[in-house]
Chain A
Amino acid sequence: MHDMSAHAAQHHAPPTSFIRKHVFSLDHKVIGKQYYALALVAALVGMVLSWMMRIHLGWTAAAIPGLQMLSKNGAPGGVMTPEYYLQLMTMHGTIMVFFVLTTAPFAAFGNYFLPIQVGAEDMPFPRFNMMSFWVTFVAFLVLVSAFFVGDGPSLGGWTQYAPLSAVGAVAGPGEGLGTILWAASIGIFCIGQLLGALNFITTTLDLRVKGMSLMRLPLSAWAWFITSCMGLTAFAVLMPACILLILDHVAGTSFFVASNLVINDQLQPHSGGSTLLWQHLFWFFGHPEVYIAIVPGMGIVSHVLITSMRKPMLSHRVLIYSMGALAVLSYMVYGHHMFVSGMNPFSSLAFSFPTLVITIPSTIVVLMWIGSLYGSKLRITSASLFALGFISMFVSGGVSGFFLAQPSIDIMLHATYFVVGHFHMVMGVAAMFGIFSGTYFWFPKMTGRMMNETLGKIHFWLSFVGTYCIFMPFHYLGMAGNVRRYSAFVVEYMQPLIPVHRFITVAALITGAAQLIFVYNLIHSRFWGQPAPDNPWEATSLEWSTATPPPFDNFGGKHPVVYHDPYQYGVKSSVGDYVMQASPEEVATVNEEK
Chain B
Amino acid sequence: MATTIHEPPQTDPRRLPDPNHSGNGGWRNLTPADGDLRLLQDYSPPASSTGIWVVLFAITMMFAAFSSALIVRKGASLDWRHFTLPSILYFNTILLLISSVTLEVSRRRVAAFMGGLKSQAASPARWLYITLFLGLLFVAGQYAAWLQVSAEGVFLATNPSSSFFYVLTAAHALHILGGLAGIVYVIRKLGKSVLRRSTLDATARYWHFMDVLWVYLLLLLWMKL
Q: A and B: real partners?
A: yes
Residue among B23, B45, B54, B77 making CB contact with A271, cutoff 8 Å: B77
Q: Does B191 contact A (CB under 8 A)?
A: no
Across the interface, do A277 and B69 meet the contact criterion of CB distance under 8 Å?
Answer: yes
A2-13: CB near B (< 8 Å → 1, else 0) gives 111110011000
Interchain CB contact (< 8 A) of A194 among B23, B58, B193: B58
Contact stretch, chosen from B30-38, B87-95, B128-136, B142-150: B30-38
Partner of A236, one of B8, B61, B197: B61
Residues of A within 8 A of B193 (CB): 1
Tell me if B72 and A572 are in contact (CB < 8 A): no
Q: Does B152 contact A (CB under 8 A)?
A: no
Q: Which residues of the other chain, B, contact A198 by a CB distance below 8 angstroms? A: 51, 54-55, 58
The 8 A CB mask of B175-203 against A (1 = contact, 0 = none) is: 00000000000000000011111100000
**Chain B residues whose C-beta falls within 8 Å of the C-beta of A4 in the assembled complex:** 196
* Interchain CB contact (< 8 A) of B73 among A233, A273, A586, A594: A273
With contact pairs A124-B51, A277-B69 given, residues A210 and B37 touching in the complex (Cβ less than 8 Å): yes
The answer to whether residues A590 and B11 also contact, given A6-B45, A202-B47 and a CB cut-off of 8 A, is yes
Q: Please report which residues of chain B, range 28-78, place their CB below 8 angstroms from some CB of chain A when the two chains form the complex.
A: 28, 30-31, 33, 35, 37, 40, 42, 44-48, 50-51, 54-55, 57-62, 64-66, 68-69, 72-73, 76-78
Does B4 lie at the interface of the complex (its beta carbon under 8 Å from any beta carbon of A)? yes
Mark out the residues of chain B between 70 and 118 whose CB falls within 8 Å of any chain A CB in the assembled complex.
Answer: 72-73, 76-80, 114
Q: Out of A206, A274, A577, which one reaches B6, CB within 8 Å?
A: A577
Contact B54 A570 (CB under 8 A): no
Report the Cα distance A576→B5, complex, angstroms. 6
Q: On chain A, which size bracket covers the interface?
A: 35 or more
CB-defined contacts of B141 to chain A, threshold 8 Å? none
Does B219 make an interface contact (CB < 8 A)?
A: no
Chain B: CB-nearest residue to A573: B5
Min CB–CB distance B113 → chain A (angstroms): 9
Query: How many residues on B have C-beta within 8 angstroms of the other chain's C-beta atoms?
Result: 66
For B163, the chain A residues whose CB sits under 8 A away are 247, 251, 253-255
Q: Mark A252-269, 1 if CB is under 8 A from B, else 0.
A: 111100110000000000
> Interface with A: B14-22, B119-127, B207-215, which one?
B14-22
Q: Give residues 133-183 of B contacting A (CB, 8 Å).
A: 156-157, 160, 163, 167, 171
A47: Cβ under 8 A from any B Cβ: no
Task: Please tell me if A280 contacts chain B, counting CB pairs below 8 Å.
Answer: yes
Q: Does A145 contact B (CB under 8 A)?
A: no
A17 to B: closest C-beta gap in Å: 24
**Which of B6, B11, B47, B66 is A124 in contact with, Cβ under 8 Å?**
B47
Q: Find out whether the CB atom of B156 lies under 8 angstroms from the CB atom of A577.
A: no
CB distance from B111 to the nearest CB of A (A): 10
CB of A586 within 8 A of CB of B65, answer: no
Give chain B residues whose Cβ lies under 8 Å from the Cβ of A571: 8
B6 to chain A, nearest CB (A): 5
B3 close to A563 (CB less than 8 A): no
Q: A198 to nearest B CB, angstroms?
A: 5
Residue of B nearest to A211 (CB): B31
- Determine the residue in chain B with the shortest Cβ distance to A234: B61
Evaluate whether A255 and B44 lie within 8 angstroms (CB atoms) in the complex, with A4-B196, A202-B51, A576-B3 already known: no
Contact call A255/B37, Cβ cutoff below 8 A: no
Chain A residues within 8 Å of B, Cβ to Cβ: 1-6, 9-10, 124-125, 194, 197-198, 201-202, 205-208, 210-211, 213, 216, 232-233, 235-237, 239-241, 243-244, 247, 251-255, 258-259, 271-274, 276-277, 280-281, 284, 310, 377, 379, 381, 538, 561-564, 570-572, 576-577, 584, 586-590, 592-594
Which 7 pairs between the two chains have the least Cβ-Cβ distance?
A: A124-B47, A252-B157, A236-B61, A274-B76, A272-B77, A272-B79, A237-B65
* 6 pairs, A vs B, C-beta closer than 8 Å: A236-B60, A272-B77, A273-B76, A538-B3, A584-B24, A588-B11
Besides A277-B73, A587-B23, 4 new A-B residue pairs in contact (Cβ under 8 A), listed by A number: A3-B196, A232-B54, A254-B160, A377-B4
